[in-house]
């Protein structure tokens, strides 16, 4: 019965220790916060820069593209806030520190997430939501009850899809210890992919990223539904509303891969 409060206290202690450690070096902390706030804006800034030299991207105007970029950014930052740390897992595996994680009487995934938490991630996510609100106010959206629900659900399901890719990607380190940046192709690559209308990508590349990995459901399809535009690529009209379903599927698949990966783990030793 006393089990639950103790677990929560353990996570609180992990989080508190991280916060204290990172605020020890004040100058570094301040610079870190400021620079990472600007980096979060970079995706949206690059859309602005590209539209300085072109009036449209694959038939999408500036405000339409900005809405897609805003949705993608909000989803990515929400995901990064929660599970972005999983990125460091390959270091845990390579150095053998993962042994210590497995030995503690806490669940593995939450430990990794809370053990390296940076408070600036909350700020980043908040900033991304502000950008999304600005993009929504600029875009030509006719609000209906269904679209109001969608605009809340879309960043959340997008974040779950990104989270699934992050978790599944991190498991490659269980099999290939020096897998290095391999997973980045799909995590950060996925972020870049979702910023733009999927029509700009060549056919097979689109088939892999947009439909097989589900990245079209992060921002492109919800964006179409919000704008009330049919897909210029001619996909069925119900797809733009399917993001939550895809998120559930992605999360289930990632959970399975993670479980297999952890069982497969053999310490690297040193």
Partner 1 sequence: MGTVSTVLSPPALRTGMALAGAGFRRWATYRQAMLAGAFTNTVFGFLRTSVMLAVAAGAGGVAAGYRGPQLATYVWVGQGLLAVVQLWGWTELSDRVRTGDVQSDLLRPVHPVLSYLAADLGRAAFALCSRFVLPMVVGLIAFDLYLPHRPATYPLFLLSMLFATVVSFGVRYLVNLTAFWLLDIRGVIMAWLLCSNALTGMYFPIAFLPGWAQAVLWYATPFPSILQAPVDVVVERGTAGHQATVLAVQGCWAAVMLAAAVVVQRRAERRLVVQGG
Q: Which residues bind partner 1 (CB under 8 A)?
A: 22, 24-25, 27-36, 38-39, 42, 45-46, 49-50, 52-58, 176-182, 184-186, 189, 192-193, 196, 200-202, 205
- Looking at the Cβ atoms of 146 and 185, the one nearer to partner 1 is 185
Q: Is the dihedral of CA 168, 170, 175, 178 positive or negative?
A: positive
What is the DSSP secondary-structure string of 127-174? Answer: HHHHHHHHHHHHS-----HHHHHHHHHHHHHHHHHHHHHHHHHHTHHH
Residue in the block written with tokens 């679209």: 147
The two tokens of residue 92 are: 């845990």
Please return the burial class of 41, using the count of CB atoms within 10 Å of its CB with bins 0-12, 13-18 and 19+: middle
> What three-state secondary structure class fits 57?
strand
- Give the span between the Cα atoms of 78 and 72, in whole angstroms: 10
- Looking at the Cβ atoms of 45 and 256, the one nearer to partner 1 is 45
Minimum distance, C-beta of residue 268 to partner 1, in the bound complex (Å): 13
- Give the span between the Cα atoms of 162 and 214, in whole angstroms: 9
Minimum distance, C-beta of residue 149 to partner 1, in the bound complex (Å): 31
Residue 79: count of CB within 10 angstroms of its CB: 27
Minimum distance, C-beta of residue 49 to partner 1, in the bound complex (Å): 5
- Looking at the Cβ atoms of 34 and 256, the one nearer to partner 1 is 34
Minimum distance, C-beta of residue 148 to partner 1, in the bound complex (Å): 31
Minimum distance, C-beta of residue 153 to partner 1, in the bound complex (Å): 26
- Looking at the Cβ atoms of 191 and 225, the one nearer to partner 1 is 191
The closest of 236, 243, 241, 211 to 225, measured between CA atoms, is 241
- Looking at the Cβ atoms of 188 and 265, the one nearer to partner 1 is 188
Minimum distance, C-beta of residue 255 to partner 1, in the bound complex (Å): 24
Query: What residues have CB less than 8 Å from 12, skipping those under 6 apart?
Result: none
The two tokens of residue 53 are: 């030299």
Minimum distance, C-beta of residue 78 to partner 1, in the bound complex (Å): 20
- Looking at the Cβ atoms of 143 and 182, the one nearer to partner 1 is 182
- Looking at the Cβ atoms of 110 and 199, the one nearer to partner 1 is 199
């Amino acid at each position: 019965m006393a089990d639950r409060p103790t677990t929560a206290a353990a996570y609180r202690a992990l989080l508190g220790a991280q916060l204290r450690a990172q605020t020890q070096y004040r100058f570094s902390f301040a610079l870190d916060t400021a620079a990472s706030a600007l980096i979060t804006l970079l995706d949206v800034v690059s859309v602005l820069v590209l539209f300085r030299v072109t009036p449209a991207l694959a038939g999408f105007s500036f405000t339409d593209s900005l809405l897609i970029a805003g949705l993608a950014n909000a989803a990515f930052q929400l995901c990064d806030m929660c599970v972005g740390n999983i990125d460091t897992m390959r270091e845990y595996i390579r150095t053998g520190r993962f042994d210590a994680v497995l030995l503690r009487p806490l669940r593995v995934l939450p430990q990794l997430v809370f053990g390296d938490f940076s408070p600036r991630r909350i700020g980043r996510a908040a900033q991304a939501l502000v950008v999304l609100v600005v993009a929504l106010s600029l875009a030509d959206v006719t609000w209906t009850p269904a679209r109001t629900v969608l605009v809340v659900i879309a960043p959340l399901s997008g974040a779950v899809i990104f989270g699934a890719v992050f978790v599944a990607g991190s498991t490659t380190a269980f099999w290939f210890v020096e897998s290095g940046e391999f997973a980045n192709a799909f995590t950060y690559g996925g972020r870049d992919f979702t910023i733009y209308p999927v029509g700009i990508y060549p056919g097979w590349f689109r088939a892999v990223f947009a439909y097989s990995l589900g990245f079209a459901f992060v921002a492109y399809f919800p964006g179409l539904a919000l704008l009330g535009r049919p897909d210029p690529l001619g996909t069925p009209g119900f797809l733009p509303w399917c993001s939550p379903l895809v998120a559930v599927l992605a999360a289930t698949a990632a959970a399975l891969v993670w479980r297999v990966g952890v069982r497969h783990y053999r310490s690297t030793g040193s």
